Amino acid sequence: MKNIILFLTSIGLLHAAPLNVVVTLPDLADITRQVGGDQVDVYCIASGKEDPHNVPLKPSAITKLAKADLFVQLGLDLEHAYAPALVKESRNQKIQQDGPGFLDLSGGVKPLDVPTSVDRKGGDVHPNGNPHYNTDPVYGQMMARGIAAKLGQLRPESAAMFKANGDKYVAMLQGKLAGWKATLAGKNIKFVCYHPDLSYFAARFGLTQVGTIQPKPGIEPGPRDIQSLAAAMKQSGVKLIVKESFYSDRIPNELAQMTGAKVVNIPIMVNATPEAKDYVSLIDTLVNAFTK
Ligand SMILES: [Zn+2]
């Protein structure tokens, strides 16, 4: 029996078991599946419906992490509230921060919105700069390349296949980028969002974020904050308030009444709304939110 298995493996008829991959966000799950194909079994910690900074713990996450070959996070402290503790709790040496199966994709990111003074106690959830770079599809290409390279390190015999899948996915995103840019070009769109999660998207496509409802990332506004934001919106002629799907619409609606702007619900990660079913449709949905 053993000889038969060895023989079948050597002629490529038996595939090795898929690599067990645990990721934090559905965006990473989609891209990992695109790149890894049937060589990966992906478990995602966040559903996509929640605040990505604050994902409720599921006991199944620890079990999955305990037998994971690879753990992937966006980084820049986005997952700070839950991922470091979960990874440690898993007691899986492979996926600890210095292990071969730990991948933080933020290494190549040039962080935006880096605070000049940091006070986590004050509730600022972006102490090392803005972590929401997944909304920029050029960083989406970087994410695909990073995942392909890491999978190739973990399974060298399939590295060429991972690289080919990654290259194909990157080329597809590059093609889509031209269309997204053309759709948003020259529109001079000004907007306000609830939390600063579109900074990279706005920078990529030349949109102007006039302010955020939260005066600091993660901090809810008081009446005075809302008054001064409404004044800034009127002064700059802002007609659009984008509201991330997991926030209440109470304050956005209040601001809309004060300013005459329109509120549009948006996803900031895959699965946050029914339209954002994968990474490409997430970006499609965001582009549409600014053109309707
Ligand atoms: Zn954030």
DSSP string for residues in 26-41 = HHHHHHHHHHHGGGEE
Provide the CA 32 distance to its chain's centre, in angstroms. Answer: 13
Q: What does pTM read for this prediction?
A: 0.93
pLDDT tens-digit readout, 130-159: 999 999 999 999 999 999 999 999 999 999
CA of 203 to the centre of ligand 1 (A): 16
In this prediction, residues 85-94 reach a mean pLDDT of 97
Question: Hey, which CATH number is domain 16-108+121-177, 3.30.450.70, 3.60.20.10, 3.40.50.1980, 3.30.1340.10?
Answer: 3.40.50.1980
CA of 218 to the centre of ligand 1 (A): 7
pLDDT at residue 206 tops 60: yes
Maximum CA extent, the chain: 78
- Which pLDDT does position 58 carry in this prediction? 86
Structure tokens at 253: 């609606």
Cα distances (angstroms) measured from residue 218 to each of 14, 49, 126, 153: 49, 17, 8, 37
Q: Architecture of 186-289 per CATH?
A: 3-Layer(aba) Sandwich (3.40)
CA of 125 to the centre of ligand 1 (A): 6
Dist CA 65 CA 276 (whole Å): 26
pLDDT tens-digit readout, 170-191: 999 999 999 999 999 999 999 9
CA of 78 to the centre of ligand 1 (A): 7
CA of 130 to the centre of ligand 1 (A): 7
Same fold, 16-108+121-177 and 186-289: yes
Q: Report the mean per-residue pLDDT for the chain.
A: 94
Question: Percentage of residues in the chain with pLDDT exceeding 70?
Answer: 93
In this prediction, residues 209-215 reach a mean pLDDT of 97
pLDDT tens-digit readout, 221-240: 999 999 999 999 999 999 99
pLDDT at residue 5 tops 90: no
CB 46 within 8 A of CB 269: yes
- Which pLDDT does position 116 carry in this prediction? 83
- Which pLDDT does position 39 carry in this prediction? 97
CA of 26 to the centre of ligand 1 (A): 16
- Element of type H or E holding 242: strand 240-244
If one counts every other C-beta atom within 10 angstroms of the C-beta of residue 8, the result is 11
Provide the CA 34 distance to its chain's centre, in angstroms. Answer: 16
Dist CA 275 CA 292 (whole Å): 15
CB 221 within 8 A of CB 214: yes
- Which pLDDT does position 2 carry in this prediction? 58
Dist CA 191 CA 209 (whole Å): 5
Kindly list the domain boundaries of the chain, sorted by start residue. 16-108+121-177, 186-289
Tell me the pLDDT band of 164, cut-offs 50, 70 and 90: very high
* Residues recorded for the chain: 292
